[in-house]
Amino acid sequence: MGEYTGPLRDTAEEWPVTGTTTRFAGRKTGVRTDEVTMPDGSVVSRDYQTHPGSVAVVALDEQGRVVVLRQYRHPVRHKLWEVPAGLLDVVGEHPLGAAQRELYEEAHVEAGDWRVLADVYTSPGGTDEALRIFLARELSDVEGERFEVSEEEADMELARVPLEELVRGVLAGDLHNTCLAVGVLALQAVLNGDGVEALRPADAPWPARPFTP
């Protein structure tokens, strides 16, 4: 196995699909089966969850603390510590607008400075979900009444936790949420590396979920 010398970048590619069957269509997501032609000419079935995409926010305050919440997640039977996040389920909504909405609704906080922290596919072998994680700074509490919550969100807990403590929790295997883990590890790398100013702007292109600026 030789050393790779080309640009280290994921590239768009689409193998031929000879047939598609929708197995399930829910309110937000669905399940699809594609018949995909492999490079050797064989055809295989691939099942995956269709997803509108999502955004998450690592909100960092002036004391180096991150806004987190704890919420019950039934599929994994856990209460997980997470960062504010949500679906791109409003047609035509800018990802930044969605992130700002989630930060307001879940944490009742707004931010004066926004950057793109990371873009990831959450589980590319099983879903087409694309996730954009933002870094939000210059935090301030929002005046007025809290957004009305229901279901699992009605039991949600809010806290501000030092970034270093969250990083330790991820590496110790105590914190498992994808948005939190990718977000805080990426932020730690940024702060120890080129700095926040080197991050992409909040309206940077996102080919996985194109939007109108």
- Per the annotation, the verdict on 165 as an active-site residue is no
**Alpha-carbon gap, residue 133 to 82, rounded angstroms:** 12
**Alpha-carbon gap, residue 141 to 166, rounded angstroms:** 22
The string of DSSP codes covering 57-100 is EEEB-TTSEEEEEEEEEGGGTEEEEE-SEEE--STT--HHHHHH
Terminal-to-terminal C-alpha distance of the chain: 43
Place of tokens 């996730």: 131
> Are the C-beta atoms of 134 and 99 separated by less than 8 Å?
yes
Place of tokens 């829910």: 26
Which position among 110, 153, 157, 165 bears the catalytic label? Answer: 153
What positions carry a catalytic annotation?
153
